[in-house]
Amino acid sequence: TSVPILHYFIYGWKKRWVESKHRPDYGKFQLTAGKFYGDKEKDKGLQTSEDAKFYALSTRFEPFSNENETLVVQFSVKHEQGIDCGGGYVKLFPDTLNQEDMHSESEYYVMFGPDICGFGNNKVQVILRYQGKYHENNKAIKCRINKDTHLYTLIIRPNATYEVKIDNQQVAAGDLEDDWDFLPPRKIKDPYARKPRKWDERLQIEDPEDKKPEDWEDFEYIPDPDAKKPDDWNEEMDGEWEGPLIPNLNYQGQWKPRIIDNPNYQGEWIHPEIDNPKYKPDPTICHYYNISVLGLDLWQVKSGSIFDNFLLTNDEEFAEEVGNKTWGIRKDVETQWRELYEEMEKRKQEEEAKKTKEKEEEREDDIWGIEEEGSEEDSAETPGNDRQMKEDEAESGFLGKNEVRVDEKDEL
């Protein structure tokens, strides 16, 4: 059967999604719109709720195949926690999957979505199964790492082309064959071709016509013309007399011919290519049969990612429209709420930092009082310095937090 339209509104999710029991300690998902949103009801999604946990949740539908049909996989995810390391992708499984036992090694067809771990390591994974092996996209696609909801779309077409969109904007597209190494390359370097020995790859050469002028002074030192052989020099005993050397005032340096463009330049030699005898086109790349389960199989260090608006369809245009009508119409309100939320968080942190500082100062005053009674001489300088240092620490600690926030803003 062909690609259906499966649009998951998350209501009643507990009846339709199955938690795996493969591990006893999978993290729990909860239904929530999170700390900021465009619409408190409509933006409810599945949120990872426990830090440093694996997650394994999936939902089953009537098996279908995308043979000779377009397959669109679309969903939205919001890393409102400020994700540090964790997956934000979905997987499509065959009908043979046992959902109760789903885990990270369970065989799947497609893995698609953002994957973030550490600085600079933020990519969109598009891992596709072909002939029993998983193939990663070899053209890197960056994902979004800010806290807003983003819409991720993967389109696989029957003519073996693909497209990845983030927020309904194309971020990658091309031939499946080119951007995954499913098949051996179409062309290879001709193993019998050799660069001709006389091939001239020199862009510039020394001018063979250029001659050193007769009067070119290329001796840096010359015999001192004023030196005289000592009268008592005995050639037999002392050897031939050589006068001392003095710097040549007319020294012009070593002569070099001028450089000219090589008139015989043939360009860089390009190794000719031939058709790869090992290459055989396969029109069935990314044809999947009995696609039957959509799952979230993740590891998250800092939890809080919200998944929503899952959609499977064969209609690119429709997927775009659904994106527009869900993520699209609420994203701006969500951003406003996020900014407000972050402003409030910032103020809260500032106040807390202030309180901590005040408390520390009170405590230091107490210590100061006690020490003053003890050794007057030593304490005169030291505690004061101590306090200065503590204040600096508090300040830099606070600034540190601030810097992080600025960085996050920059990424938006």
Ligand X SMILES: *[C@@H]1O[C@H](CO)[C@@H](O)[C@H](O)[C@H]1NC(C)=O
Question: Which residues are part of a known binding site for an alpha-D-glucoside?
Answer: 89, 91, 108, 115, 297
- Residue 240 engages ligand X in binding (rule: CB under 6 A): no
Does the protein bind ligand X through residue 148 (CB under 6 A)? Answer: no
Alpha-carbon torsion angle 6, 11, 17, 21, nearest 10? 160
CA dihedral 138, 139, 140, 144 (to 10 degrees): -120
Rounded distance, CA 296 to CA 377, Å? Answer: 67
Q: What is the 3-state secondary structure of 214-254? A: CCCCCCCEEECCCCCCCCCCCHHHHCCCCCCEEECCCCCCC
Residue span 76-95 as binding mask against ligand X, x where in contact by CB under 6 A, dash where not: -------------------x
Binders in 44-63 for ligand X, by CB under 6 A: 63
* Tokens linked to 29: 């998902």
- Smallest gap from residue 286 Cβ to ligand X (A): 13
Examine residue 67 and tell whether it contacts ligand X (CB under 6 A).
yes
* Residue 387 is a binding residue for ligand X (CB under 6 A): no
CB of 100 to ligand X, least distance (A): 18
Is 284 a binding residue for ligand X by CB under 6 A? The answer is no
- Smallest separation, CB 269 to ligand X (Å): 32
Q: How far is the CB of 29 from ligand X (least distance, A)?
A: 29
Q: Does residue 234 interact with ligand X by CB under 6 A?
A: no
DSSP state of 142: B
* Cβ count within 10 A of residue 316: 17
- Which residues carry a binding-site annotation? 89, 91, 108, 115, 297
- For the segment 105-144, give every residue that binds ligand X (CB under 6 A): none
Please pick, from the candidates 49, 161, 248, 276, the single residue that binds ligand X as defined by CB under 6 A. Answer: 161
Which CB sits closer to ligand X, 58 or 305? 58
Nearer to ligand X, 43 or 320 (CB): 320
Burial of 385 (0-12, 13-18, 19+ CB in 10 A): exposed
**Residue 159 contacts ligand X per CB under 6 A:** yes
Q: Give the interface size with ligand X as a residue count (CB under 6 A).
A: 15
Contact, 34 vs 47, CB < 8 A? yes
Is residue 157 part of the contact set for ligand X (CB under 6 A)?
A: yes
Binder among 49, 248, 290, 379 for ligand X (CB under 6 A): 290
Nearer to ligand X among residue 57 and residue 154 (C-beta): 154
What part of residues 28-47 is at the interface with ligand X (CB under 6 A)?
none
Q: Which residues contact 313 (CB under 8 A, 6 or more apart)?
A: 3, 4, 5, 6, 7, 72, 74, 319, 322
Which of 298, 287, 289, 294 has the alpha carbon at shortest distance from 7? 294
- The whole-angstrom distance between residue 305's C-alpha and the CA centroid of its chain comes to 19
Instruction: Give the chain's radius of gyration (CA, Å).
Output: 37
DSSP E strand stretches across 118-262: 122-130, 133-135, 149-156, 161-166, 169-175, 187-189, 204-206, 221-223, 245-247, 259-261
CB of 114 to ligand X, least distance (A): 21
Least separation in angstroms between residue 209's CB and ligand X is 55
Closest-approach residue to ligand X (CB): 289
Question: Which of 286, 298 has the CB closer to ligand X?
Answer: 286
Distance CA 310, CA 293 (A): 12
Q: How far apart are CA 303 and CA 401, in angstroms?
A: 20
Task: Tell whether residue 98 is a contact of ligand X (CB under 6 A).
Answer: no
Residue 68 binding ligand X, by CB under 6 A: yes
Nearest distance from residue 168's CB to ligand X, in Å?
A: 6
Closer of 301 and 333 to ligand X (Cβ): 333
Tokens of residue 387, six digits: 């306090």
Nearest-approach distance from CB 95 to ligand X, in angstroms: 6
Within 312-351, the residues that bind ligand X by CB under 6 A are 317, 320-321, 324, 328
Cα dihedral 94, 99, 105, 108, rounded to 10, equals 20
Q: Which residues bind ligand X (CB under 6 A)?
A: 63, 67-68, 95, 157, 159, 161, 168, 289-290, 317, 320-321, 324, 328
